[in-house]
Amino acid sequence: MPDEVKSKLIDLIDYVGQVIQLSETPVFDIKDYRQPIFHEIDLKNRIGIEHDTSDENGPIWLKVKRLKRSDPPLPPELIEEWITVGRDPYVFPKIESIKPNTIKQQDAKAQIKGGRLDAKDVQPSLKNHQKKYCDVIYRLDNLPDIKNTIELYLNGPWHEWSEIEKPRRETIKIYETLFNLQQSIQIQGQEKPLELVWGMGVSRWRREGQVVDHAIVEQLVESEINKDDGTIIIRPRGAAPQVFLKPFFALDINGVQTVFQFSNKFFDNFTEDQELSPFVPDTYTPVLRYVASNLDQSGIYFPDEIVDITDRRLPPLREYLTVTDTWVIYARRRSDNFFINDLNRLKEAVEKENELPGPAKRLVTRPSNENTYKGGRIDLGGASLTNYSGLNDGSQLLNRKSIRHLRTNSFFPNLIMMSR
């Protein structure tokens, strides 16, 4: 009997797991989540971004400082009317090639003689009250002093500012994306919950028209904003890591169940002082190697193929499985995958347990056929009540009026007294 109860409980756990899995469409590509994605190469060697630190609350995997935009240097007064400088370091200043003006006729004659104006660009002023003035068009090519000053400004102060500001703006863009994401997670709450995931190792595979491009080892993380300086901090949550194998299950890949069992056992065998970290390869790369070698006979573990291990770019999609050791941060709608992991651990615990606790047994044990209720019986068909006094002979019959009186008297005795 104990083995039969254990078997039924395991079947129940499997059934719940299947229901959860059927409710979710497998995601093959992290871009299908339609949420922000940051690959390792996007966040490495950035000004204002730090990795693998800690504080009194535990490990910090990512810190992004709140940087401020700096304005470009002001152009010299001589050229300020000829150049428009914006705040975007990626946008080259706009330079005017011609400039209309109204000057005195005698000045126009002098400038024509000096080569700063062409005679064809000088016309009598259209304004009647300015008879001694003329309308002119200055051309930048005729103004070497202004042209040279513009070139000196662009190649000097503006270029230096632009080169310094560009990486700052990239960090600012990353910060704004993470900030908006963190706000979305808080605002949406339980109604449309988002979760933030740090993936380790990316599987890339083009197989039978289907593209697999997803992280393998996943760790839920949380983001917070430092109230003093606005720094965004991302740290791991207390949830256990999981291996994302849904695409391979959906493609019915041989060996995926073996990989699943290996990965679970790998993480379950962590010692108390051992924690998963994207900056400690030994805590996850054995799983990545196992995936590469067991899901595709031609599969490769990409770090074994490259010469420069500091190159964190993703390899191209190929007809064979390629597994990287790079990490990626992404958001998605909250998944039930972690419930699946919990169910699998529960299943393993049930299989190892010799004696199941009472509540677990009652989940899969049929209720007893013995009638344990000793009270009266109501004849619904005849609208009569038998054995109201607790007797079992069924001899006492009451009409509808008596039944109503007895019910009211039993549950609302004060109401009966008030009605009298």
Q: Residue 416 contacts by C-beta under 8 Å, 6 or more apart in sequence?
A: 405, 408, 409
Return the pLDDT at 5: 75
CA distance 214 to 328: 9
Over its C-alpha atoms, the chain yields an Rg (Å, rounded) of 38
Spatial contact of 158 and 90, defined as CB atoms under 8 Å apart: no
Return the pLDDT at 351: 74
Q: Residue 107 contacts by C-beta under 8 Å, 6 or more apart in sequence?
A: none
| Alpha-carbon dihedral 103, 105, 109, 115, rounded to 10 degrees | 20
How many CB atoms sit inside 10 A of residue 6's CB? 19
CA distance 240 to 342: 9
CA distance 64 to 43: 9
Residue written as token pair 């992280």: 215
Return the pLDDT at 3: 72
Q: Where are the beta strands (DSSP E) in 93-180?
A: 94-95, 98-104, 122-124, 133-139
| 353-381 b/e (C-beta count within 10 Å ≥ 16 → b) | eeebeeebbeebeeeeeeeeeeebebeee
| Alpha-carbon dihedral 28, 31, 35, 41, rounded to 10 degrees | 120
Block means of pLDDT (10 residues each) for the chain, 420 residues, are 71 70 79 95 96 95 97 96 96 96 93 94 80 91 96 97 97 97 80 87 94 96 94 94 92 93 93 93 97 96 92 94 97 72 74 71 69 60 47 46 46 41
CA distance 205 to 209: 10
